[in-house]
Amino acid sequence: MTDSRRILIVGGVAGGASCAARLRRLDESAEIVIFDRGPYVSFANCGLPYYVGNVIQDESKLLVATPDLFAERFNILVRTCHEVTAIDRAAHELVITDLDAGKTIRENYDVLVLSPGASPVRPPLPGINLPGIFALRTIPDSRRIREWIDSKNAQSAVVVGGGFIGMEMAENLTHRGLAVTVVEAAQQLMPALDPEMAEFVYRRLTTHETEVILGDPVAGFEQSAEGLVVRTQSGEEVPADLVILSIGVRPETKLAVGAGLEIGVTGAIKVDETMRTSDPDIWAVGDAVEVKDYVTGEPCFVPLAGPANRQGRLAADAICDRSVSFRGVQGTAVCGFFGLTVAMTGATEKKLKALGWTDYQAVYLHPGQHAGYYPGAKPIHLKLVFRSSDGRILGAQAVGEEGVERRIDVISMAIQNGATVLDLEQAELCYAPQYGAAKDPVNVSGMVAGNVLRGDVDLARWEQLRSANVLIVDVRDAAEHKLGPIPNSINLPLSEMRRRYHELPRDREIWLHCGVGQRSYYALRFLRQHGYNVRNLPGGVHIYRAWYPKGRPPTVMP
């Protein structure tokens, strides 16, 4: 081990605190000091929406570790309310403002770790600084929002931005009894998802009386006699007692830029696979850094707690001369609101399209989270994206009430191991009736995709439904067809297929569908073996309704 080094860490939450604790476990002799400009370190940022919503009532529960604990347990000095304002790389010193004492100090380092995180985007819109407009990043932010709700007896809120934090805030403000409107600039909620999968989110929000405005960016804010008014670009005006800004975050790169460290194409700090910056004595981790997308290989900026924690630990290993390499980030994420769980891992179709990839396909399925005969089975709507040429899994998204995150975690691990859909077919997973099915949804996703990979089934595309010159055949029972037919479809139930298939034209392409895609797959196999030119519309009517929602314009894949 190297002899006593002075290791300074900027930022003492997810990445910084993990790095500090790991460093101590590896190097008892180092002097380790954490600086954070806030009054706390190691707090649970992810718990803040639930503190606003009163689900977490005791603020102290948000403190994972305190400066005293760092001192006693790890001999790590934590200096809160100390803002690092510059890095003097030549002198190996930090310039720091002691915010309580109001004075500037300098501290020397042998090794520096930057984990300053990311700050909420606050666009320069008219009225953005009016009282009652909040972003959520710290414990004091959440305290201010709680106090505003209580002191103003707030009845309504606008959440600007329908991403993960926006969804959590919408739910938590509803918990507090506020009427919530979500305003989202994109044409879909949760822009990290593919647009048709986001349709399930839209439905859940609107059935819980959340107003949703899509495709209409906020243009500005005004003060009225009653409170705030949020104006959108289309001219809509939404009154609100408070506004939450959740339109994304930007990496905190001020220190790095000031010190001349290399910045990546995403605008975050460039690091190598050991989290080392362009200065060999400076490491950087967490929301402030650019990493490699594990699936596409592209540089990316993925502000999530898991990667920040793992990077902090890995940087400590590297600083202590252990041989380590960060694999990259897949964007594995989960979010829950109004009883719905939304989870994803790897690449979306939208992302692949934007990168110009064409060698992929997607399947959909809607299995129960456990055996259908066991009470309480609820569907998981799952989309699996895979490479057409070799079946490598590229990404998955799932929405449902239970068991969603477990399936995405399994697929996430499969992606990390470079697995194919055929590996999912063979995956051996826990099963008892109350937990899963003998063919788990993960297995089924592999089987459905495996059918495509092996050429047993050709897929049709829902986006082309209205323009394709094909015959659409619904193979559900007549009563099901009558209840909700797809326009211009004819009905030939699977149960009558063997008797009546010769009624179908042989000189026309036929697209089959049913409720979820399973009966139409059976019909496809039958018809194909009788010489018909058939394709399956994946995911059935559930996915039709996601592409063509009732009373709203069709979904568009950007």
In angstroms, the CA 314 to CA 300 distance is 18
168 to each of 121, 175, 291, 405, 532, how far by Cα in Å? 17, 11, 26, 16, 49
Shortest distance in whole angstroms from residue 320 CB to ligand FAD: 19
304 sits near ligand FAD (criterion: CB under 6 A): yes
Q: Tell me which H or E stretch contains 107.
A: strand 103-108
Q: Which of residues 15 and 195 has its CB atom nearest to ligand FAD in the complex?
A: 15
Q: Which of residues 36 and 196 has its CB atom nearest to ligand FAD in the complex?
A: 36
Residue identified by tokens 């994109």 is 186
In angstroms, the CA 469 to CA 455 distance is 23
Shortest distance in whole angstroms from residue 247 CB to ligand FAD: 13
Q: 543-547, long-range: CB within 8 Å, 24+ apart, which pairs?
A: 543/196, 543/364, 543/462, 543/517, 544/462, 544/465, 544/486, 544/513, 545/199, 546/196, 546/197, 546/199, 546/200, 547/196, 547/199, 547/462, 547/463, 547/465
16 sits near ligand FAD (criterion: CB under 6 A): yes
The residue within the footprint of ligand FAD, chosen from 117, 446, 515, 540 (CB under 6 A), is 117
Shortest distance in whole angstroms from residue 413 CB to ligand FAD: 17
419 sits near ligand FAD (criterion: CB under 6 A): no
In the residue annotation, 46 being an active-site residue is answered as yes
160, β-bridge pairs: 183, 245
In angstroms, the CA 362 to CA 353 distance is 12
Among the candidate windows 304-312, 453-461, 523-531, 537-545, which touches ligand FAD by CB under 6 A? 304-312
The residue within the footprint of ligand FAD, chosen from 8, 9, 10, 154 (CB under 6 A), is 10
Taking residues 435 to 454 in sequence order and writing x for each that binds ligand FAD by CB under 6 A, - otherwise, the string is: --------------------
The tally of CA atoms less than 13 A away on the side-chain side of residue 73 is 12
Report the sign of the C-alpha dihedral through residues 388, 390, 395, 401, in that order.
Answer: positive
Shortest distance in whole angstroms from residue 16 CB to ligand FAD: 5
211, β-bridge pairs: 181
Report the sign of the C-alpha dihedral through residues 195, 201, 205, 208, in that order.
Answer: positive
Shortest distance in whole angstroms from residue 435 CB to ligand FAD: 24
| CB contact at 8 A, 336 and 43 | no
Shortest distance in whole angstroms from residue 204 CB to ligand FAD: 18
116 sits near ligand FAD (criterion: CB under 6 A): yes
Q: Tell me which H or E stretch contains 518.
A: helix 518-529
From the candidates 19, 46, 81, 335, give the one annotated as an active-site residue.
46
The residue within the footprint of ligand FAD, chosen from 201, 308, 342, 472 (CB under 6 A), is 308
136 sits near ligand FAD (criterion: CB under 6 A): yes
How many helices (H) and strands (E) in the chain? Answer: 16, 30
The residue within the footprint of ligand FAD, chosen from 7, 8, 9, 13 (CB under 6 A), is 13
306 sits near ligand FAD (criterion: CB under 6 A): yes
- Rounded (10°) angle between helices 14-26 and 305-319: 30
20-59: which residues touch ligand FAD (CB under 6 A)? 35-38, 45-46, 48-49
Shortest distance in whole angstroms from residue 313 CB to ligand FAD: 12
Taking residues 67 to 96 in sequence order and writing x for each that binds ligand FAD by CB under 6 A, - otherwise, the string is: ----------------xx------------
For ligand FAD, which residue has the nearest CB? 286
Shortest distance in whole angstroms from residue 402 CB to ligand FAD: 18
403: left (phi over 0), alpha (psi -120 to 50) or beta: left
Q: Which of residues 38 and 403 has its CB atom nearest to ligand FAD in the complex?
A: 38
Shortest distance in whole angstroms from residue 543 CB to ligand FAD: 27
14 sits near ligand FAD (criterion: CB under 6 A): yes
In angstroms, the CA 322 to CA 316 distance is 9
Q: Which of residues 115 and 174 has its CB atom nearest to ligand FAD in the complex?
A: 115
Q: Strand, coil or helix: what is 478?
A: helix
What length does the chain have? 558
| CB contact at 8 A, 11 and 17 | no
The residue within the footprint of ligand FAD, chosen from 65, 111, 115, 386 (CB under 6 A), is 115
Give the number of other Cβ atoms within 10 Å of residue 416's Cβ. 17
Taking residues 148 to 167 in sequence order and writing x for each that binds ligand FAD by CB under 6 A, - otherwise, the string is: -----------------x--
171 sits near ligand FAD (criterion: CB under 6 A): no
250-289: which residues touch ligand FAD (CB under 6 A)? 252, 255, 286-288
DSSP 276: B
Residue identified by tokens 């109001």 is 102
Active site residues: 46
**Positions in the binding site for ligand FAD (CB under 6 A):** 10-11, 13-16, 35-38, 45-46, 48-49, 83-84, 115-117, 136-137, 165, 252, 255, 286-288, 303-306, 308
